[in-house]
Structure 1
Amino acid sequence: MTGEFMAFTVLGAIAILGALFMLQLSKVVHMVVALVFTFLSLAGLYVLLSAEFVAAVQVLIYAGAITVIMLFGIMLTKHQDEETSSNRLKKFIVFLLIIGFAISFYIGIYQLDFHQEGTDLHVNNTKQIGNLLYTRYIIPFELTSVILLVALVGAIILAKKDEEKEEKP
C-alpha cells in the first residue's frame, strides 16, 4: 500500500462523505460546509493526478467564490430553516439510485480501455491548458463568460421584481 493510494482513499472518502452529508443535512449552511469539504477533497485528488492548476482553480473558484456566492444567496433570500420530516421511501429510493450510479460507474471504469498512456501530460500542464484554452477553445470560453453574465443580469432582474412586489400593498 503506497502513500498515494492512502491519500486517494482518504480524499475519496472525504469527497463521498461530504456529498452524502450535503444531501442528508437539513440546515442550508451546514450543507454548504459539507459541499466545501467535497470541493477541497476533489482539489486534493487533482493534485494526485498532477493537475496542480486545476486543483488551484478548484480551490479558488469552487471552494472560495462559489461557496461565498451560495452563502450570500442563502442569507439574502427568504427560506424556511425548519426541519421537515422526510419520507423513508424517498430516502430508500435515493439510496438505491446512488448504489445504481456507483455500480454503473464501477463497471464503466473497469471496462474502459486505454490504449496508450500519456507520459508527458504532467509536464507544463498549466501552459498546455492555457494554450488550448486560448487557441482551440477560445469561442466556448467566451460564450461561457457571456452566458454567465446573462445569468447574473437575469438573477438581478428577478430579485428586483420580487423586491418591487413586496413593497406594493
Structure 2
Amino acid sequence: MSGGLIAFFILAILTLGGAFFMLNFTKVVHMAISMALTFLSIAGLFVLLEAEFIAFVQVMIYTGAITIIALFGIMLTRHDTDDEEKKRPGHKFFVFILAAVLFGFLFMGINGMVSPSEAQLAEQNTSMIGQQLFTNYVIPFELASILLLVAMMGAIIIAKREADK
C-alpha cells in the first residue's frame, strides 16, 4: 500500500463522513462545519490528482465563500423548527433509492471513461483549464455569471421587501 492510496482512503472517508453528518445534523452551525470538512477533503483529493489549481479554487471558493454565505443566509432567514420534524415517513427510503441509482450511474460513467496519460495531467493544468474555459466554454461561463448576478439581485430585492415590512 502506497502513501497516496492511504491518503485517498482517509480523504474519501472524511468526504463521505462530512457529507453524511451534514445531512444528519440538526443544528445549522454543525451542518456548515460538516460541509466545510467535505469541501476541504475534496480539495485534498484534487491535490492527490495533481490538480493544485482546482484544489486552491475549491478551498477559496467553496470552503471559504460558499460556507460563509450559506451560514449568513441561514442565520438571516426565519425558519420554524416544527417543520423539520414533520417529514414524510417514506422520505428516507426514497432518498436512499435515489442515491443508489445516482451511484450506479456514476459508477458506470466512471468505468466507461478513457483516462489520459499521466504526462498530460501534470503539465500546465492551469493554463489548459484557462484555454478550455475561455475558448470552448466561454458561453456557459458567461451564462453562469449572469445567473449568479440575477440570483444576487433577487436576494437583495427579497431582503429589501422583508426590511420594509
TM-score calculated relative to the size of structure 1? 0.84
Say which SS state the counterpart of residue 50 (structure 1) adopts: coil
Tell me which moved more, 85-94 or 139-148. Answer: 85-94
> 1:5 corresponds to which residue?
5
Distance in 2, Cα, partners of 1:81 & 1:163: 23
> 1:45 corresponds to which residue?
45
**Deviation per residue, 1:145-166 (Å, 9 max, x gap):** 12211110011112222332xx
Spell out the pairing of 1:74-113 with structure 2 (5 A cutoff).
Answer: 74-81=74-81, 84=85, 89-110=90-111, 112-113=112-113
Say which SS state the counterpart of residue 9 (structure 1) adopts: helix
Displacement over 6 Å in runs of 4+? none
Higher helix content, 1 or 2: 2
Distance in 2, Cα, partners of 1:156 & 1:2: 51
Distance in 1, Cα, partners of 2:21 & 2:31: 7
Gaps of 5+ in 1: none
Say which SS state the counterpart of residue 139 (structure 2) adopts: helix
**Pair 90,63 (structure 1): closer, same or farther in 2 beyond 3 Å:** same
Distance in 2, Cα, partners of 1:135 & 1:113: 23
Say which SS state the counterpart of residue 44 (structure 1) adopts: helix
Asked if structure 2 preserves the Cα contact closer than 8 Å seen for 1:28 and 1:81, the reply is: no
Asked if structure 2 preserves the Cα contact closer than 8 Å seen for 1:15 and 1:37, the reply is: yes
Aligned length: 164
Say which SS state the counterpart of residue 78 (structure 1) adopts: coil
Gaps of 5+ in 2: none
> 1:33 corresponds to which residue?
33
| 1:77 CA displacement | 0.9
Q: What is the root-mean-square deviation of aligned Cα atoms in Å?
A: 2.2
Distance in 1, Cα, partners of 2:64 & 2:115: 37
Distance in 1, Cα, partners of 2:49 & 2:139: 27
1:120 maps to amino acid = Q
Distance in 2, Cα, partners of 1:97 & 1:143: 29
Asked if structure 2 preserves the Cα contact closer than 8 Å seen for 1:27 and 1:81, the reply is: no
| 1:87 CA displacement | 5.8
1:142 maps to amino acid = E
Spell out the pairing of 1:1-169 with structure 2 (5 A cutoff).
Answer: 1-81=1-81, 84=85, 89-110=90-111, 112-114=112-114, 117=117, 119-164=119-164, 167=165
